[in-house]
Structure 1
Amino acid sequence: MGESDRYIDYKLKKKRFTLGQPDNALMWLFAINVIFFLILLTIKVAINVNDHSSTAFYTQVVYWFQLPADLVSLSKKPWTIISYMFSDVDVMRALSNMLWLSAFGSVLQNLTGNKKIIPVYLYGGFAGAVFFMAAVYLIPTNRAVIDTLGLLGANVSVMAVAIAATMIAPSYRFFRDIRGGIPIWILTVIYVAIDLASIARGPAAFPIAHMGGAFAGYLFVKMLKHNMDGSEWMNKFYNWFINLFNPNKKKQTNSVKERVFYNIGSKSPYSKTSIVTEQRVDEILDKINQKGYDHLTKEEKDILKRASED
């Protein structure tokens, strides 16, 4: 195991999220997908029992969740640009998507915190929608059947999470206790191959949509490495929206002078802060991801060594 691998392990131990943790964004994604699936499955079973046909389910129910291929239909049901990425109606595909989301999502969340995974998931879905509709309009064979095409399922968004996780930690390994483990990039190649094979016989717009999701994951991490956080505005909007309905939120009425110069709480004005802080370690680990371990200074290597021994 190399130095960067050890420090990725250290970061994972520091930031690992547990199942019942309230700020576990991955579990929220998982829960939303499962809720949508169970609702659709219940309706599907009820319709099949009464009508003995699944046609009514797709024309009367799925129609309102599925992203349409043409702009006119999208203008009539704009919410589908979000609803489609949480709506799976096939049991095996839903199970597969959740397993892959859990695998790649846990890596992404544990390494970047809980504020990145949902934006990556959404960006993947949005990019997939754009690529899908562009492909339908630009490819004549797809445009000829535009009224019959629609995008549905978490695949596109999961693809974005998979690519983002792989780019964040290309040296990460699953199941390290078994002969050194499986590199994440190998698992990603397997996932992409299975995903594309499952839609290979359909119109070209579908694999192009999935590549759109992959591009979103790639671009998100690429920008992140250049100190451009695409998740920041989403998180700010979410916090603002939630606080609108929070009656317990206290308005800050203290003056700037009081907050800065007088209100120091329980902090000691002359307390010494250790150089080995969580923030400092995170910054060094990000530098390893961007430039490699060899680009660290002697001081940075010493900080990581001390941190990993704590």
Structure 2
Amino acid sequence: MDVVEKGEPMPILSLGEGKNMVTQLILVNLTVFILLFFTQVIYNIEGNSTIRFNLDVMNNIILPASFSRLARLPWTMITSLFIHESVWLVFGNMVWLWAFGSILQRKAGPGIILPLYLFGGIIGNLFYMLGMQLIPAFHLTQFFANYYGSTAGIMALAVAALLLAPNVRIFQQLSGGIPMWIITILYMIMAVCAHLFSHNDLTYLPAVIGGALFGLLFMNAWKKGNDWGAGFNKMLYTITHLFHPKGN
């Protein structure tokens, strides 16, 4: 599939229907973070503990580690992809989402962004749950473990961007720019270290691998002319335009 370059260069943080899916994804993640933050503030003002907030709210939107719990909370397969626990984590992830997503969006168009992020995250979640079942050291913790965050989805974007534009250089001011492969490796290292240092466990590594694998397979298919996200985008367009009057 040929690289698509449509119209004038797209402002990096511009809005507009279907024109900047990267910005829209960032706004969704930030909105969810802000809503959860103020919800917790309200809980604290009313004298409820953080434990109560976690039981009432977080446990219903983050991904459980066992399939029996997932059967009761199937929507967490998606809602968990937009949950962040700290300002620094959401800020860092949104910077990486912008970096990799902007490259993909400019080279392949906005239609590739949401399928990669969403399905990359879902595959990452499935890998996480399988890892919790199949890896003995992880299996022991499955009944109280959980997973959330945008890392798997962003990893799918990162690998896809590397395959699509391996020769792209970022930060041109720095001696001609930093090669894309270095940026991608740096992100992978930082993603692993950030979770390892903050949670002191490796249970989420299967999710990262799952996201990366989906990005690899998706972009390989896309370059051969097979857009795995076309059907999803068509369905989403139909749903969001159900009540839009058709033009004459």
TM-score exceeds 0.5: yes
The alpha-carbon deviation at position 20 of structure 1 amounts to 3.0
Aligned equivalent of 1:90: 86
The alpha-carbon deviation at position 109 of structure 1 amounts to 0.6
Aligned equivalent of 1:3: none
Aligned equivalent of 2:14: 20
1:72 equivalent to 2:31? Answer: no
The residue matched to 2:111 in structure 1 has which SS?
coil
**20-29 vs 51-60, which deviates more?**
51-60
The alpha-carbon deviation at position 44 of structure 1 amounts to 1.7
Partners of 2:144 and 2:62 lie apart in 1 by 11
The alpha-carbon deviation at position 18 of structure 1 amounts to 4.6
Count, aligned residues:
242
Partners of 2:45 and 2:22 lie apart in 1 by 35
Q: Which has the higher contact order (CA 8 A, sep 6+)?
A: 2
**86-95 vs 237-246, which deviates more?**
237-246
Aligned with residue 120 of structure 2, among 121, 124, 136: 124
The superposition leaves residues 175-207 of structure 1 with CA deviations (integer Å, 9 ceiling, x where unpaired) of 213311111111111111011112236443301
Is residue 15–residue 111 contact of structure 1 (8 Å, CA) maintained in 2? no
Structure 2: runs of 5+ lacking an equivalent: none
- Counterpart of 1:245, as a letter, is F
Instruction: Within 5 Å, give how 1:188-267 maps onto structure 2.
Output: 188-200=184-196, 202-246=200-244, 248-249=245-246
Is residue 170–residue 178 contact of structure 2 (8 Å, CA) maintained in 1? yes
Change (3 A) 1:71 1:174: same
Aligned with residue 147 of structure 2, among 143, 148, 151: 151
Tell which structure's C-alpha radius of gyration is larger.
1
1:107 equivalent to 2:103? Answer: yes
- Counterpart of 1:194, as a letter, is M
The alpha-carbon deviation at position 170 of structure 1 amounts to 0.5
1:55 equivalent to 2:51? Answer: yes
Partners of 2:12 and 2:213 lie apart in 1 by 29
The superposition leaves residues 139-189 of structure 1 with CA deviations (integer Å, 9 ceiling, x where unpaired) of 122222211111111111111111111111010001213311111111111
- Counterpart of 1:41, as a letter, is F
Structure 1: runs of 5+ lacking an equivalent: 1-7, 252-310
State TM-score, norm by structure 2.
Answer: 0.90
The superposition leaves residues 221-273 of structure 1 with CA deviations (integer Å, 9 ceiling, x where unpaired) of 11112211111011111122123222x1259xxxxxxxxxxxxxxxxxxxxxx
The alpha-carbon deviation at position 93 of structure 1 amounts to 0.5
Aligned equivalent of 2:183: 187
The alpha-carbon deviation at position 102 of structure 1 amounts to 0.8
Alignment root-mean-square deviation, CA: 2.1
Partners of 1:121 and 1:205 lie apart in 2 by 21
The alpha-carbon deviation at position 217 of structure 1 amounts to 1.0
The alpha-carbon deviation at position 124 of structure 1 amounts to 1.1
Partners of 1:211 and 1:59 lie apart in 2 by 29
- Counterpart of 1:46, as a letter, is I
The alpha-carbon deviation at position 61 of structure 1 amounts to 1.1
Partners of 1:21 and 1:47 lie apart in 2 by 34
Q: Point out 4+ residue stretches in structure 1 off by more than 4 angstroms.
A: 10-15
State the identity as a percent: 31
Aligned equivalent of 2:136: 140
Change (3 A) 1:163 1:170: same
